Chains A and B, each alone.
Chain A
Amino acid sequence: DADVTQTPRNRITKTGKRIMLECSQTKGHDRMYWYRQDPGLGLRLIYYSFDVKDINKGEISDGYSVSRQAQAKFSLSLESAIPNQTALYFCATSDNRQQHGYTFGSGTRLTVV
């Protein structure tokens, strides 16, 4: 099993729909992150959590919300999806000292039509 598992891998949804992307990890890490990848814009941070009770906005949090259900689970929600949220979404984890960098999931490709 992968260290960081993202579901679904691919999703097509309609404008205005609510959608949840899920992430679970078996690394035992406290820190979890949600990134969005767009061509030419790189990886942009949406939300991050340094422990279960800590949730922080990243640079592009508008239109998104998150839930840290447990140390191992961090979900990203789009309350009302819009076409410019079409992107590749990555979840990542790290230990508190980031000694081994970030471990990323394989991503969720989201298309909003």
Chain B
Amino acid sequence: QQQVKQSPQSLIVQKGGISIINCAYENTAFDYFPWYQQFPGKGPALLIAIRPDVSEKKEGRFTISFNKSAKQFSLHIMDSQPGDSATYFCAASIGTYKYIFGTGTRLKVLA
């Protein structure tokens, strides 16, 4: 029940396309869902986050869609660019407790 399942494991997208990464969870007590972006040789960095009281949050080309009834949330990267090539992790937490991370998605955007 504490797991966060992430898919796909890897993704290749053409420049200008839409990248979509999905996560699913079981524990309905989770109330905070961040996404982290990791470039090679670097630690993950917070990209965008959402709470379950909203269904969508957008920051620039990055959007989180949240489906509370399905217990799923996804990251959409619009107009994907080669600079977006990175590993993306979803996560979930209960209040200010520790995060549970997904297994990661390696995104490659072709020029």
Which chain A residues have a beta carbon within 8 Å of chain B's beta carbons? 4, 33, 35, 40-45, 48, 58, 90, 92, 96-98, 100-102, 104-107
- Give the total number of A-B pairs whose CB atoms are below 8 A apart: 48
Contact B41–A33 (Cβ < 8 Å): no
The residue from B32, B44, B49, B93 contacting A90, defined by CB atoms under 8 A apart = B44
Contact across chains for A42 and B43 when beta carbons are under 8 A apart: no
Closest to B47 in A: A101
Tally of contact residues, B, Cβ under 8 A: 21
18 CB-based A-B contacts, threshold 8 Å: A33-B98, A35-B101, A40-B9, A42-B6, A42-B102, A42-B104, A43-B89, A44-B101, A58-B98, A90-B43, A90-B44, A96-B96, A97-B96, A102-B46, A104-B44, A105-B43, A106-B43, A107-B43
* Chain B residues packing against A (C-beta within 8 Å): 6, 9, 32, 34, 36, 41-46, 49, 89, 93, 96, 98-99, 101-104
Q: Which of B34, B44, B49, B103 contacts A41 (CB 8 A)?
A: B103
| A4 and B43 contact, CB distance less than 8 A | yes
Q: A105 contacts which chain B residues (CB < 8 A)? A: 43
A104 CA / B34 CA spacing, docked (Å): 14
Tell which of A44, A92, A97, A100 touches B43, judged by Cβ atoms closer than 8 Å.
Answer: A92
Known contacts A33-B98, A90-B43; is A42 also within 8 Å of B49 by CB? no
Question: A43-B89, A96-B96, A98-B93 are contacts. A106–B34 as well, Cβ < 8 Å?
Answer: no
- Cα A102 to Cα B101 in complex, Å, equals 12
Q: Which residues of A contact B93 (CB under 8 A)?
A: 98
Is there an interface contact between B45 and A104, defined as CB atoms closer than 8 Å? yes
* Residue from B42, B49, B98, B104 within 8 A of A45 (CB atoms): B98
CA–CA, A104 and B103, complex, Å: 17
